[in-house]
Amino acid sequence: MMRTPDGHSQLELSSFLRPPVVAYPRSAPVNVLGYLSVMFGVDDSDGTVEKLRNRGAQLVGEVVHYQDVCRLCYIRGPGGLLIGLAQELS
């Protein structure tokens, strides 16, 4: 269980031991129907990516600008978990 920095929300990450997994598409692209991910807002996308890379995360694709509103990227963390990072641009 993770608590957000503001203390108002929690996020639970879990995995199931039974029944056995039938298919596990960890190499699937981020927009595959039914594929789950979680996204976090960050203040510094480049700095966050660098810190996470130093801990074994891998950038999926590249950090992109979305309509001059935010910078977005996806990383694969421990066990292949897909995590999105979004930095608002002002």
Per the structure block, which two tokens stand in for 16?
């199931």
Domain residue spans in the chain?
34-90
State whether CATH 3.90.1150.10 applies to domain 34-90.
Answer: no
Q: What is the pLDDT of residues 61-83, one digit of tens each?
A: 999 998 989 999 999 876 777 88
Q: What is the pLDDT of residues 13-34, one digit of tens each?
A: 666 677 776 665 566 666 666 6
Selected residue with higher pLDDT from 8 and 29: 8
Cα 80 from Cα 35, distance rounded (Å): 13
Flag whether pLDDT at 51 surpasses 90: yes
Main-chain dihedrals φ then ψ at residue 66, nearest 5 degrees: -115, 105
Strand 38-41, strand 82-88: pairing: parallel
pLDDT of residue 83: 87
